[in-house]
Amino acid sequence: MKLARYNQFEPSYPTSFSSVLDKFFNDSFAQSAKQFTPAVDIAEDENQYEIHVSVPGMKKTDFNLDLTDGRLTISGERKMEEKKEGKNFHTVETHYGSFSRSFYVPETVDAEKIEASYQDGLLKVLLPKTEKKTNKSKIEVK
């Protein structure tokens, strides 16, 4: 079974022209409620799944990880520093605001042994697989 994304369609993509206008005006005037979607890589080997979330410029305490009903939600918020001290930004391409990504976790994941670490702008979540239990047994014909 594969580790699957829960929110496969990006909620910030407008679906109609009126939502394009709403997004334009809301993003222009409501910068404090800004959201972004960090890039995620998912890998698997025979022992575990790995989720890598690219979120540079954050602290370990800025993340929330929650596993409920087989759905892992990774969320957090990156705040822009308010210190300007004579700086005038001409461009700001770094994404700021809150984010949330959710993934369905297969039943083969050992929820008690999930680990997360953050280093060099990369949040790594390791989801170890449990031992596969087989209901097969050899039956001798008599």
- Residue range 64-93, pLDDT digits in tens: 999 999 999 999 988 877 766 777 777 777
Phi then psi for 63, rounded to 5 degrees?
A: -105, 150
What's the pLDDT at 31? 46
Which stretches in the chain have pLDDT values below 50?
A: 8, 29-32
- For residue 17, the surrounding DSSP H or E stretch is helix 17-29
pLDDT at 72: 94
DSSP structure string for 19-87: HHHHHHHHHHH-GGG-B---EEEEEE-SSEEEEEEE-TT--GGGEEEEEETTEEEEEEEEPPP---TT-
pLDDT at residue number 32: 44
Reported as type and span, the H/E element at residue 18 is helix 17-29
Q: What pTM does this model have?
A: 0.67
- Give the CATH number of domain 10-80+94-128: 2.60.40.790
Listed in sequence order, the residues at least 6 apart from 26 whose beta carbon sits closer than 8 Å to its beta carbon are 33
